[in-house]
Amino acid sequence: MQSVAHFIAKILPLLFAFGFLVPLIMQMMLALEITPPFGLSALVFALLVGGSWGLFAQIKGRWI
Amino acid sequence: MHQTVTVPADVSNMSEAELKKLELKIARKYSGMFPWMIVTWGFANMACWLALWPLVMLNIIPLWLGFILATINMALVYLPTHDAQHDIIARPGQKLRWLNELLGHATSWMLVYPFQVLRITHMDHHKHTNDPELDVDIESHAPGPWSAIWATIRGRQPNAKRNRDYVAALARAGREDLLLVTLAYKLGYIAILSALAWNGYALEAFFLWWLPYNIAYSYIIFFLSWAPHHGKSEGRYKDTRGWRSTLGNIGSMGMQYHVVHHLHPYIPLYQTPAAYREMLPILKARGCELGGRD
């Protein structure tokens, strides 16, 4: 139980990124009528940006 | 008020014991009453914030207005929790103890912390104020206001020292069991934000909770932690200062008088200015820094 909790606590940045950040980026783009570059869909773009940011936070231990 | 306390303008001739007795007498005068204002404030504030969700989602009010109101709600949420942490509504064994605990729990979840964690870590802060090793709020210390705001942002990063200090405070209290509850709160928060976001309400979740929470967190730490303890050392009359806020007493959440709270934490928030004014000759005699508030 403790090791599961420890693992979950460690991956909170990734959970936040894929759970919240990705759909947030996607919906912000739609609201601001921003077209993703390179012909990417909004979801793929959001996954790339949100996922990378989450990975950065996961590895570095900070979002900024 | 319970009683009349006469404080001489000049207390320089009073002995240590007399000063202590007089200070205590004033503190008692301003404590012990039922703080209806903070109880109403806590529950009304929570109700207002919860009401914003349907109001925004049903397009009754615009999201920008919801964001402004939510930020105010989030900024106002900590002080009722804080009074409940100090058992100001009711102490253990008193008839209204349940209300004290209910208020604490009902408000702390909005800040994504279990009430007991806030209480234990805050009591630890009172016990070890400004101790570089043991004060859980030490990370909010900064040389100036801008660096203090930056410190509040740094303090909620995944690898923040504050996280480790909180864990250490819980360990000192023998309450490591609360780490699991804290994790459940954090997971629940992410789960709610995620559920809203993946169901098309990401902007609402962002502007009604995430962003207001983060703005309010900086505001709360700045005024409750940085400003009253800025440049102070350790010791009963040395760890907190009186100061003047450009935002006034309401805008700084009454923290100009935080020195009284650290001396007598059982005085309700809204009574601290009056207690401060009455204690002023004693505070001066004790050598407290009053920041021109004398």
Q: Which of A20, A27, A57 sits opposite B158 (nearest CB)?
A: A57
SS3 B126: helix
Q: What ipTM was predicted for this assembly?
A: 0.95
Query: For chains A and B, what is the number of CB pairs under 8 angstroms?
Result: 62
Q: What pLDDT score was predicted for residue B2?
A: 57
Residue A13 to residue B183, Cβ atoms within 8 A: no
Report, as an integer, the average pLDDT of A7-22: 96
Residue type, B162: R
B247 touches chain A (CB under 8 A): no
pLDDT digits 0-9 by tens, B189-236: 999 999 999 999 999 999 999 999 999 999 999 999 999 999 898 999
User: Using a CB-CB distance cutoff of 8 angstroms, which residues of chain B are in contact with residue A14?
Assistant: none
**What is the Cα–Cα distance from B19 to B280, expressed in whole angstroms?**
12
Q: What pLDDT score was predicted for residue B3?
A: 65
Q: Which two tokens stand for residue B199?
A: 């169901």
Task: Say if CB B3 and CB B26 are below 8 A apart.
Answer: no
A64 touches chain B (CB under 8 A): yes
Residue B180 to residue A5, Cβ atoms within 8 A: yes
Q: What pLDDT score was predicted for residue B8?
A: 79
**What is the Cα–Cα distance from B147 to B286, expressed in whole angstroms?**
30
Residue A62 to residue B158, Cβ atoms within 8 A: yes
Rounded to two decimals, the pTM is 0.92
Name residues of chain B where pLDDT drops below 50. 1
> In chain A, what are the helix, strand and coil shares in percent, each to the nearest 5?
80, 0, 20
